[in-house]
Amino acid sequence: MMLQKLLRGTGIFALLLASAAASQAGTTVWAFNASLGNPHIQAYDLATGNNLADFEAPHNDARRGRANGRGIAVVGNTIYYSLADTPNVYKTDAVTHADLGIAFATVLTPGINSLSWDGASLWMLASHPNDPNAPADDKVYQYSPAGQLLQTLTLARPQNSNLARDGFEVLPDGRFIANRGSVPYDIYDAAGKMQKSVFITSTARTTGIACDGANYIISVPSFTEAGGGGLATYDANGQFVRLIALPVALIPFGIVDLAVDRAATPPPAAAPPAIAQGQVLNGASFEPGIVPNSFMTIKGTNLAPTTVDWTNFIGPNGELPISLAGVKVSVGGKPAYVNAVSPGQINVLAPDVGFGPVQVTVTTDVGTSAAATANSQQYGPAFFLWSNTYAVATRPDFSIAVKNGTFSAATVPAKPGDVIILWGTGFGPTNPVAPVGVKVPFGTLYLTASPVTVTIGNTPVQVFGAALAAPYAGLYQVNLKIPDNMPDGDWPIVATINGVSSPASTLLTVLR
């Protein structure tokens, strides 16, 4: 599975989310600040960092001097909050700041570490036991606003982690995001199974997370970390966006939990999917046109209600799904195999259709898009890319061979004489004919039906072969050797099959 993890950063698996670019203006983030004395409840404008409210948590349990504030959830004008050493959930008025008493008591011990509101109920985590060497409670508890325990789930415990999670949020699609006592943050499905490990990370210690439907907002409690503290935002792909500095005098100890009032920002009315003009594309080159049994990308609006990929939805015998989150794609009247969906982009494996113009539609629970016309062609070779420029290249041991900095500081560029593997799609039929709708099994070598040639900087190179990669689907590997006398540089790398070439804009770094 190493290659699958590696390729999650490429055009196949990465989801380019339109919602990630949503404006942050007007978003109010509520924070619970442990403070150096009585804990404070605060509100900040996410666009500017301006402080909108700051008052002591009003219940007597929180006003006993250095009470350890913990969770916060905001529902309209009602603020729910918790403390690290009591099992109670407390309420206060967001406008008048009046104490509304204890909302209800829970079974959590010794207290409640984090709160989250899903639109109808509260979810929470237990504080770490008083014995620092005791293991943390791995459960998530769901309570009705009236205090009825609705269910408990156990989140898979990451390796080498014994701390109580103190950053937790229920996402709009019903999944969970939770940290490990600090970074990193992992994504869990609605049943508590880890879905995406190390989704968000940071060089700073963090605690507290909220999601406004487009961005993740994380508190950085100390101004000595990461060049300053405050609120850090991350996009829907888990990538850092910016740090919003907060007035240091207002957070002398640190923010321990965050909340966004979802009731104040209801989701927009559902609309049917729409494919953008000319946006049925090759899944690697993002050029117009598709190739049967290869990856294709569709861009548009309202294409999916959520973001998910097929990782947990492949059948026991490698069967690929034709629906994800209720999203289906028809290509030439046949169902496509849905690799990943998001509101702004869908990646699918094209079915076995003929050549020439084909009609493409997207169907969700809301409706079906107008048909878009795409040209289906036998060949459309293209390599997947790092940073939209550099070909995804590995050595035979799957170590990454790309220019330093384009993916990870740990990568080592390819050198003259190296044998490398290029990863792509659109290389056409195979011999023998590959199975359709399932992952390519081990044991049979599905070579491209026609030979592949490759040039690096217009220099022909030795190609050992090209074939579908097992155990994947629609993913081709091209094995080649970089010439021994290849000069250093960023060189165009072009593959050609049956007279059709991949984009010359794709680069490969060669560096001794």
Name which residue leads in pLDDT, 119 or 480. Answer: 480
What pLDDT band is residue 402 in, cutting at 50, 70 and 90?
low
Q: What is the CB-side half-sphere exposure of residue 26 using CA atoms within 13 A?
A: 5
Q: Is the model's pLDDT at 427 over the cut of 80?
A: yes
- What does the pLDDT read at residue 24? 33
- What does the pLDDT read at residue 404? 44
Can you give the length of the chain in residues?
512
Name which residue leads in pLDDT, 157 or 94. Answer: 94
Token duo for residue 45: 């404008």
- What does the pLDDT read at residue 241? 82
Q: Is the model's pLDDT at 445 over the cut of 80?
A: yes
Which residues, 6 or more positions from 87, have their beta carbon under 8 angstroms from its beta carbon? 105, 106, 107, 108, 109, 110, 111, 112
- What does the pLDDT read at residue 295? 96
- What does the pLDDT read at residue 390? 87
- What does the pLDDT read at residue 159? 59
Q: Is the model's pLDDT at 407 over the cut of 60?
A: no
Q: What is the pLDDT of residues 77-88, one digit of tens each?
A: 999 999 988 999
Which residues, 6 or more positions from 278, have their beta carbon under 8 angstroms from its beta carbon? 288
What pLDDT band is residue 123 in, cutting at 50, 70 and 90?
very high
Q: Is the model's pLDDT at 475 over the cut of 50?
A: yes
Percent of the chain's residues with pLDDT above 90: 49
What pLDDT band is residue 3 in, cutting at 50, 70 and 90?
very low
Q: What is the pLDDT of residues 16-62, one digit of tens each?
A: 222 222 223 357 899 888 765 688 899 988 878 888 899 999 999 98
- What does the pLDDT read at residue 7? 39
- What is the pTM assigned to this prediction? 0.54
- What does the pLDDT read at residue 6? 36
Q: Is the model's pLDDT at 5 over the cut of 50?
A: no
What pLDDT band is residue 220 in, cutting at 50, 70 and 90?
confident
Of the listed ranges 28-37, 177-186, 295-304, the least confidently predicted one is 28-37
How far is the C-alpha of 105 from the C-alpha of 33, rounded, in Å?
A: 22
Q: Is the model's pLDDT at 164 over the cut of 60?
A: yes
Which residue, among 119, 303, 309, has the nearest Cα to 211 in the 3D structure?
A: 119
**Amino acid letter, residue 119:** G
Name which residue leads in pLDDT, 375 or 50. Answer: 375
Taking the CA atoms of the chain, what radius of gyration do you get in angstroms?
26
Q: Is the model's pLDDT at 227 over the cut of 60?
A: no
Residues 204, 226: contact at Cβ < 8 Å? yes
Name which residue leads in pLDDT, 326 or 456. Answer: 456
Percent of the chain's residues with pLDDT above 70: 85
- What does the pLDDT read at residue 9? 36
Q: Is the model's pLDDT at 171 over the cut of 90?
A: no
Q: If DSSP codes are grouped into helix, strand and coil, which group holds residue 433?
A: coil
Q: How many CB atoms lie within 10 A of CB 4?
A: 13
* Average of per-residue pLDDT across 176-187: 88
The domains located in the chain, with CATH, are 28-264 (2.120.10.30), 274-376 (2.60.40.10), 382-510 (2.60.40.10)
- What does the pLDDT read at residue 19? 25
Q: What is the pLDDT of residues 323-371, one digit of tens each?
A: 988 899 999 999 999 999 988 899 999 999 989 999 999 999 889 999 9
Q: Is the model's pLDDT at 204 over the cut of 60?
A: yes
**Amino acid letter, residue 408:** S
* Average of per-residue pLDDT across 479-503: 95
Q: Is the model's pLDDT at 306 over the cut of 60?
A: yes
What are the φ/ψ torsions at residue 460 (nearest 5 degrees)? -60, 140
- What does the pLDDT read at residue 234? 87
- What does the pLDDT read at residue 397? 79
What are the φ/ψ torsions at residue 345 (nearest 5 degrees)? -155, 140
- What does the pLDDT read at residue 160? 57
Of the listed ranges 148-152, 229-233, 445-449, 483-487, the least confidently predicted one is 229-233
Q: Average per-residue pLDDT in the chain?
A: 84
* Average of per-residue pLDDT across 477-491: 94
